[in-house]
Every structure is written in C-alpha cells, then in structure tokens.
Amino acid sequence: MPWVIEAIGLAKTYGDKLAVDGLTFTVRPGVVTGFLGPNGSGKSTTMRLILGLDAPSAGDVKVNGKHYREHTAPLHEVGALLEARSVHTGRSAAAHLLALAQTHGIGKRRVDDLIDLVGLHEVARKRAGQFSLGMGQRLGIATALLGDPSTLLLDEPVNGLDPEGIHWIRNLLKSLAAEGRTVFVSSHLMSEMALTADHLIVIGRGRLIADESVDEVVRRASGGAVRVRSPEAALLRNLLIEQHATVVSSEPGLLEVRGVTAEQIGKAAFAHGIPLYELTAQQASLEEAFMELTQEDVEFRTAEAAPVEEGAAA
C-alpha cells in the first residue's frame, strides 16, 4: 500500500473565516515534502484536519488510504508534531511519552530509546513546563517518532531550535524520507525548505498556489529570464525582438531577455558575429520564488488588516 496523504477539496471555516479553501494535494513517500505558506495561511489547520483534530467543513483527507481515525494503530501510521505545544506542563517528558506509548501497548524501552535519540536524557524526569522552546521541540519530535510511523507530519519543527538542533532535524527528515517514509513538514521559511525539501506544496490564504518540485518552483518564478551583456546590445536587442522575445534593458550593454532560451540567444549572437561578455540563465532564489508566489496573498492581507488595527486602537 502506498504511504500517502491525500487531500481532496479540503476546506475549513471557523465562524465566517475561511482558513482552508478547497485544497487538493497528494503527499508521496520517499521524499521530504515542504508545506509552505506565510503565517496564517492555513498550514496548521490543514495538519489538524489530516489528524482529525478538526473536522473539515468540506472535502476529505485520508492517510494511507483511510481516514486517520479509522486506523487500528494510528501511532504507527502517523507521527505528528503540532505547532502549538501538546504536552501537559506538569508531567515529566518520560511520563508524557510513556502515557502516549501505552495507548498502543508500546513499552518503556521505546520511550527510553527516543529520549536518548533526541538528547533529552538529562531532563527526562523534569516537568515539561520547565522546558525551553528547543527542549519542547525535541520532546515533540520524540512524540512523533514514538510509534515508528510510516508518515510524519511536522508543523514548523525547527522553531526555537539552536543551529545544531536545526542541522539535526534536517538530517532526520532526510533520513526518514530515505527510509521510504512520507515526510510532510510545514514552514513559513523558504530558506529552510530549500535545504530540506524535495517537493513543495505552497499555500496562501488557505488556497493552493503551487504543488511541484523545488526546482520547478524556482524555474517558474524566475520566468526564464536570461541576462546578456554585450558591447553591441542594441543590435542584439533588435535581433531578439524579431524572434518574439521580450527584452528589458536597465543599463547600457545589459539586457534581460525573456521568451527565448540562453541557447537561442547564443546561436543568434554567433550567427551575426555579436560578441557576448555574459550569458546567464537567471535563477531566482527560492526566497524570491516564494515571495513572488505569495505576493498577491500578502498584499491582500496587509490591505485587509489595516481596518482591524484601527478598530483595535479606537
């Protein structure tokens, strides 16, 4: 059976606020799938819908072919780290993990193994309320791995971790995916996703913006622009416009060309004996790609937020 998360037309409204708006996507095993969107775009809500913590207003989401609650051993199917803390502050890390493990008849040895794995050995008997944000995240990771699940659902896992911890999480996610598991990890940080994810699902205001590989997102956002530097820029410009390219020039001798490939430009220049000093296919950084993808969304939200602020001040 394929290990996948499948959402079809998933929607959730809270009162009259639309948090998730008709999301359809599939998360596949064996790769790290990044779930990207600005804060408040519906990532955490989607995670809760997958786990059945909230009921969808419309649509459906299944994990490994079933609704999450229909699995006979849910902790073996999905391990989850939710963004909001999900630990009783008065209980020790060890007791917290043991209580959750016991729901599936999993013993204390598994709990000890995971405490060692995430490096909480020394504070395992301390009450979780005294934990730092980073320690809390580590406990959350241990909780997610408790049932050795085929699918991992991690909401902003690097939040509050030190550089060492972040590095460890990246390796963990890649290792889990390499073992063939489904790894679905949300973040509002594009740079983080660039380092860990293979595939991206991008949302804004609860709607799907992109569902493609990291490379594709970058390529699409850069719009296939090519930077050309030449002493005979004006001549080249006319040549390229004849080939239906769009050409923009921001400084003398420099062209930004869209609509033709670097290869076509090179050939055209060669055919007419035009020397080229530079010919670069532009790669937008993932950060720029993300900004471009979610731009509309962010602009809309800023405009909308203004009256609310006025109302609060009055």
Partner 1 sequence: MSTLTSKVAVPRLEQQGHLTQLHVARSEWTKLYSLRSSRWSLFTAVVLTIGLPLLFAAVTSSRWGTMSPGERARRDPLEIALAGVNLSQLAIAVLGVLVVTGEYSTGMIRASFTAVPRRLPVLWAKAGVFALVTFVLAVPSVVIAFFASQAILARHDILQVSFSSPGVARSVLGGAVYLTLVGVFALAVGAIIRNTAGGISAFAALFFVIPPLLLLLPSSWHDAISPYLPSEAGRAVFSLTHGAGTLAPGPGLAVFVAYTVLATAVAAVLLVRRDT
**Where does this chain bind partner 1 (CB under 8 A)?**
48, 51-55, 68-69, 71-76, 78, 80, 82, 84-92, 95-96, 98-106, 110, 113-114, 117-119, 143, 145, 147-148, 164-165, 167-168, 171-172, 174-176, 179
Residue type, 239: L
Which candidate, 140, 147, 148, places its Cα nearest to that of 169?
140
- The distance of closest approach from Cβ of residue 156 to partner 1 in the complex, given in angstroms and rounded to an integer, is 15
- The distance of closest approach from Cβ of residue 64 to partner 1 in the complex, given in angstroms and rounded to an integer, is 13
b/e per residue 110-120 (b: at least 16 CB within 10 A):
bbeebbeebeb
φ/ψ of residue 171, rounded to 5: -65, -40
Which C-beta is closer to partner 1: that of 28 or that of 85? 85
Beta pairing, strands 182-187 & 151-155: parallel
CB 207 within 8 A of CB 22: yes
CB 113 within 8 A of CB 148: no
Which C-beta is closer to partner 1: that of 146 or that of 201? 146
- The distance of closest approach from Cβ of residue 88 to partner 1 in the complex, given in angstroms and rounded to an integer, is 4
| Cα distance between residue 171 and residue 300, in whole Å | 36
- The distance of closest approach from Cβ of residue 33 to partner 1 in the complex, given in angstroms and rounded to an integer, is 18
| Cα distance between residue 21 and residue 14, in whole Å | 12
243 Cβ neighbours under 8 A, 6+ residues apart: 259, 260, 264, 268
Which C-beta is closer to partner 1: that of 85 or that of 227? 85
Which C-beta is closer to partner 1: that of 130 or that of 295? 130
- The distance of closest approach from Cβ of residue 193 to partner 1 in the complex, given in angstroms and rounded to an integer, is 18
- The distance of closest approach from Cβ of residue 117 to partner 1 in the complex, given in angstroms and rounded to an integer, is 7
Tokens of 28: 């596949």
Which C-beta is closer to partner 1: that of 113 or that of 299? 113
Which C-beta is closer to partner 1: that of 111 or that of 255? 111
